[in-house]
Amino acid sequence: MAIKYFQNYKLRKINKNDLKKLLILRNQYKIRKSMINKKKISYNEHYNWYLNLSNSNFFHNYSFTYKKKIIGSGYASNYDRKKKFCYWGIYRDMKLPSNKKYGSILLYLLLEKLFSLKEIKYLRCQVIKKNIWVKNWYLRWGHKYLYFDKKNKCHILKITRADWNTKKKNILVNSFIKNK
């Protein structure tokens, strides 16, 4: 049943053709104010970011689509080869209705995708200080609180592959299947 629920959604690696749409989404005010880097990003900055990333050994940035239309992004960055973890993040078009669970679907698909990578043992994320709702959402999804990063003014959370494998069935049932 879960597969049927997600059938119109897809995560695919970003490509050059996605950059304009993703930049529009990333520069939405509500998204920017939830990021550590709150400034509006120019197309040249965005394009150079993409070039640097696509030439790296750890390129896991995805377009999140619904019925083939880009509605968000999920990504992994700052891979630590020695400790086998990276940071992840998501954002979705803030003009979409919140009751459709786009963010939850994106988060579920991204965690599944990243934990399918053999080189990942655990994931970390950063949540800005004032975004308490998001921090609590991630905690409900199996993340553990690590510490507060004073420099970036954000909470650092962690989820292991084992924590995700334990939690994901419950999330599927309670977040998607029961509430359909």
pLDDT at residue 33, as a whole number: 92
Beta strand pairing status for 144-149 and 85-92? unpaired
Residue 1 in this model has a pLDDT that exceeds 60: no
Which pLDDT belongs to residue 39?
Answer: 93
Question: pLDDT by residue (tens digit) across 7-39?
Answer: 899 999 999 999 999 999 999 999 999 998 899
pLDDT grade for 98, boundaries at 50, 70 and 90: confident
Element (H, E) at 85: strand 85-92
Domains observed in the chain? 2-177 (3.40.630.30)
Residues 116-158 pLDDT 10s: 999 999 999 999 999 999 999 999 999 999 999 999 999 999 9
Gap between the Cα atoms of 28 and 87, Å rounded: 22
Helix (H, G, I), strand (E, B) or coil at 123: strand
What digits encode the pLDDT tens for the residues 72-81? 999 999 999 9
Please determine, for residue 47, whether its predicted confidence score (pLDDT) is greater than 80.
Answer: yes
CA atoms within 13 A on the CB side of 58: 17
Q: What is the strand order of the sheet 60-66 is part of?
A: 9-13, 60-66, 69-80, 85-92, 122-128, 154-160, 144-149
pLDDT-derived band at 179, boundaries 50, 70, 90? low
Q: What was the pLDDT predicted at 128?
A: 96
Tell me: pLDDT of 5 over 80: no
Q: pTM (2 decimals)?
A: 0.93
The pLDDT score that the predictor gives to residue 64 is 98
pLDDT band at 2 (very low <50, low <70, confident <90, very high): low
